Amino acid sequence: MWIGELNKKLNRNKTKITFSPHLFDRQEYWNINIEKIEETVRTGKIFEKKCEIPNKICFKRYFGKENTTYTVIAIYHNNFIEVKTAWPKKGR
C-alpha cells in the first residue's frame, strides 16, 4: 500500500514537521494548539478515508484529558512533513 511506503521513507517520529501559513490563519478561530498537532502527526492513527495519492495523509488523535480529537491533514515531502490544515472536535 502507498501509505506504508511513505511511512518507510520518512519516520514520522523523527522527521522535521513544518506548518503551512493557512494553519496559522485558522489557529485563532479554531483555538488550535500547535504541540497537539505535532503530537497527532507523530503518534496519531492514519484516517484512510481522507488520504489521497501520492502524498496526502490524514491523522487523527484523541486527547482524553481535554476530551478533544484533532484531525490533521499533512503532505509528505522528500525530507519533511508539512501540515496543511488541522481542526479540533469535541469528544471522539
Residue ranges of E strands in 1-92: 16-19, 45-46, 56-63, 68-76, 80-90
Q: Which has the higher per-residue pLDDT, 1 or 64?
A: 64
Q: What are 42-69's pLDDT values in tens digits? A: 899 888 788 778 888 899 999 988 899 9
Q: What is residue 6's predicted lDDT score, i.e. its pLDDT?
A: 72
Q: What are 6-25's pLDDT values in tens digits? A: 777 777 788 899 998 888 88
